[in-house]
Amino acid sequence: MGNDESLLSQNAVQSSRQQGDEFFMPAEWEPHEGCVMSFCAAKGMFPEWQADEIRFEQARIAHAIAEFEPVFMLANDEDGEEARQLCGPRVDVVKMQHYDMWTRDTLPTICFDRSNRSTAICWNFNVWGEKLEGYEADRDLACRFAAWRSLPTIKADIVAEGGAFDVDGEGTLLTTQSCLQNPNRNANLSTGEIEHALRRLTGARKVVWLPGAVAGITDGHVDGMARFVRSGVVVADISDDPLDPEYEGLLENAKALRVATDCSGRALEVIFVKRPRWDLIDVRSDDFAASYVNSYFANNAVVMPKYGDPIRDNEAREVFARLMPDRKVVQVSVHEISEGGGGVHCVTQQIPKSRVQSPGVAASAL
């Protein structure tokens, strides 16, 4: 248990206002040291049967990613044995207290400083605008995870989540007004102040604001609507189904993307992928996250969702296979995770490959 979080001293947490260094966030398709997930423990949020099915779906995602890069599954003390049994020997189960599965939002974004040292950027997770109870263990998870990895930690001067922005690794960042300009996160900050924080902490030279969407618990995370697949190229969700709660929001996002430019002034190339048809999804609420772009770009692979609409599932798969031909496309069913409001990208967080020699931290099994 040498890497038990309780045996690690907390790193000094510094405000980005006090730091002169700027940071750089690599694109997700750049090399990873691994992927981090958290074994769902939110049984107060979900019925027991649904929580159990979510864990099965998490294990399927972990298995798919583990074919291409190491996977670390955070688990509470009481869940370690079940996590090991479901995930198998290829996934490292790590003891770390938490509540829910959304590591994209609860863990830090690992960026590089000017000396290319990995640094954990913690975004002050406030449960998506203080919407839900029971998330106390997730509020400081980012800093505890950074301590486990022995990473220096910077606390952002804004409230955000990892799913709220996406970067191309060359200076352009996508985000949404409905999320980061929402009073439930950054009520006292101007758009310029929010942009300043994003630029300094990710290396962005241009922030592209999309309108976003009002449906869903995240207030319109961009990783459920539009993603970079390479510099200058964006894949965006679109819906032709008025039953989709984000139908109107996606149309407005499409208008904004068609006139958007990157940090070099080039018009973005935008490829639209149609969401699944809602009448073909057996059971779903308005929080159901039916987004194909909510995929994880693992080393040499794209791990993406499927929803039981054979035509749309296949069309989406072909889009990613065409745009990322050097990667194997793997689809997994994530119905209950989607019913919880997220997808493959929401339950994963990459550890970018280090750019400097360091001893590193190996995971210890429970």
Take residue 315 and report the two structure tokens written for it: 């069309």
CA quadruple 142, 143, 148, 154: dihedral sign: positive
**What residue type is 116 in one-letter code?**
N
Q: Is residue 40 annotated as part of the catalytic site, yes or no?
A: no
For the chain, the first-to-last Cα distance in angstroms comes to: 7
Angstrom distance (rounded) from CA 311 to CA 54: 25
- Paired strand residues for 331: 304
CA quadruple 148, 153, 158, 160: dihedral sign: negative
- Paired strand residues for 155: 15, 122
Backbone angles phi and psi of 162, in degrees to 5:
-60, -30
Angstrom distance (rounded) from CA 141 to CA 120: 12
Q: What is the bridge-based pairing of β-strands 71-75 and 91-95?
A: parallel
158 contacts 18 by C-beta, under 8 angstroms: no
Residue of 35, 111, 179, 346 marked catalytic: 346
3-state secondary structure of 215: coil
208 contacts 260 by C-beta, under 8 angstroms: yes
Angstrom distance (rounded) from CA 291 to CA 273: 9
∠ CA 316-321-326, rounded to 5°:
155
Angstrom distance (rounded) from CA 120 to CA 112: 9
Question: Which residues are marked as active site?
Answer: 346
